Chains A and B, each alone.
Chain A
Amino acid sequence: MQVTMTVNDVEVTAEIEGRLLLVHFLRDTLSLTGTHWGCDTSNCGTCVVWLDGEPVKSCTVLAAMADGHAVRTVEGLARGAELDPIQEGFMQCHGLQCGFCTPGMMMTCRALLDKNPDPTDAEIREAISGQICRCTGYSTIVRSVRWASVHEAANK
């Protein structure tokens, strides 16, 4: 079947199998390997991308379900050479070590800040409660999101 969708503001069209998962469509068909593919069972959250602006676990969404919709991946976070404050926050506050969970974490946290620009630590932890990080113990991720929140508020 043929699908057409917008990925990071670019329209793409491809011939795919009905069973193709969105994560593999992004990684293998479009070579957007920033989105990681982990547990395959919607538990780990490293595959989180946005579907029409909402974070979804792309290992459990069919690429066909995104036909006609807008997808945003971690490659679509930065504006040119300018990093998103979330990306900057992860750098500043050591929000990653191995980096495997990072793309999913950043997509979820960006969506959180878009809805709630000044979240509490508890709200940040709740937002990422469906995502697993085995390096940081989450504390530095929470700090990274706080950093982004504070800097975004300051730059407004």
Chain B
Amino acid sequence: MQVPAPFEYERATSVDQAIGLLERLGSSARLVAGGHSLLPMMKLRLANFDYLIDINPLHAELGYIRLTGDEVRIGALTRHRELLESDELAAAFPIFRDAERVIADPVVRNRGTLGGSLCQADPSEDLSAVCTTLDASCVIRGPGGSERVVTMEEFHVGPYETAVGDDEMLTEIRLPLRPGGGSAYEKVERRAGDWAVVSAGAAVWLTADGTIADARVGLAAVGPNTTGIPELSAALRGREPAEDLYEQAGAIAARSCDPATDQRGSADYKRHLADELTRRTLRTAVARARS
């Protein structure tokens, strides 16, 4: 039987109360939301905390998807199922529904959250690639009601490491809405619900005359970073969408990533996937931007 080592269970009653607890307890405490990454790690003693602060009671406060004029704001406790089922979100960013269909399985998606996925900062995690693709910002709340906003690049410090401090909490993700946008996500996995062998997300924004105003690609499971690929965006900007352009973008994606050979596949195979999935998602993103 696998059970976590003993810890004190605390229940959050508000964001500020949870941050107050974090402030007092420091690195010996951890927030738990869906728990589907943290609890297995605690069972395996890969993570050990003296205190767990259960933030599930804050779902009414932190579980939301709101469209404002120029951005979509998503509360950190929004569950995978809610992201999958939101027609509003799918209309603004179809990449979310593409990704949520292949994240874990329906039962796990009933518990797992957007904030938990990003804070786990697993290099193979799909929503990190989605948020990178969409140039998301992360709102981090700290003691005394302080708030700071960081980019995805700043948010992910390294594998399993984020910019969120011991006495801070990720509360919201903000996704800029720009005209003429389309997006898509593709994942190759060995079996249903598995981590990606490689995943790619793409987003494009077309001008009125159909050229690419901007484009971003985010990859998962091909190295420690979840950063976008500036060279790839630069190569696409101002160009007419076409097969040879996707090919060029795929080649840039393949040589920009740093996959490792493991039980999911060889580095060469993963590079091939980064290339192919970049092409496919760009193709779909452009088609969606046009429709």
Contact = CB atoms under 8 A, between A and B. Distances in A.
B107 to A, nearest CB: 5
A33 to B, nearest CB: 14
Contacts, number: 81
A11 interface: no
B54 interface: yes
Interface residues of B, number: 28
B39 interface: yes
A65 B107 contact: no
B127 interface: no
Contacts of B35: 60-62, 65
A72 interface: no
A102 interface: no
A64 B11 CA distance: 9
Nearest to A37: B1
Interface in A31-88: 37, 40-43, 45, 48, 54-57, 60-62, 64-65, 67
Given A45-B105, A65-B56, A130-B106, 16 more contacts: A18-B7, A18-B52, A40-B1, A40-B40, A40-B43, A42-B40, A55-B106, A56-B110, A57-B36, A62-B35, A62-B52, A64-B9, A108-B107, A126-B106, A129-B192, A131-B107
Interface of A: 1, 17-21, 24, 37, 40-43, 45, 48, 54-57, 60-62, 64-65, 67, 108, 126-127, 129-131
28 contacts: A17-B6, A18-B6, A18-B8, A19-B5, A19-B7, A42-B40, A45-B107, A48-B107, A55-B107, A55-B110, A60-B36, A60-B111, A61-B111, A62-B32, A62-B52, A64-B11, A65-B35, A108-B106, A108-B107, A126-B106, A127-B106, A129-B106, A129-B192, A129-B193, A130-B108, A130-B192, A130-B193, A131-B105
